[in-house]
Amino acid sequence: MKKRFLSKALTLFEVFKTHKITAGDLENAEVKSQNLDARKEDFRLLIAMCKDTFSGRYKMDKWNLSVIVATIAYVVSPLDAIPDVIPVLGWVDDITIIGYAITKLSEEISKYKLFKKQVLPAEN
């Protein structure tokens, strides 16, 4: 059963790669981050990377940006492998997708953290 949900989550994640993120989606993502326990800070980092890329302050390739967009879209979307209305269990797939994105983006995340330290020291 767990493999079926993971498979469904990854399929939906691929669909969301072409989603257009709005300011409302980013605000909703900030709110939903509260429910992500150990992945809350990871998810907030992805949101910050997305915002800085959209504003033109940070540059990343389209594939990495599509992973971030898909992750944010997946978390804020009501279409989930496990619906968020199911207490606790509903966030397991979101946490899994965030973990997947963090793994795929480890090099980009390192670059972004260095960027934040060197270029924007006032924000740290």
pLDDT tens-digit profile of 23-81? 888 998 998 888 788 889 999 999 999 999 999 999 999 999 999 998 998 888 876 65
For the chain, give every domain's residue range.
2-123
CA 10 from centroid of its chain's CA atoms: 13
Q: What is the pTM of this model?
A: 0.77
Q: What is the mean pLDDT of the chain?
A: 81
Q: Given this model, what pLDDT does residue 97 score?
A: 86
Q: Which helix (H) or strand (E) holds 12?
A: helix 2-16
Question: For 67-117, how does the pLDDT look when each residue is reduced to its tens digit (9 = 90+)?
Answer: 999 899 888 887 665 555 555 566 777 888 899 899 999 999 999 999 998
Amino acid at 81: A
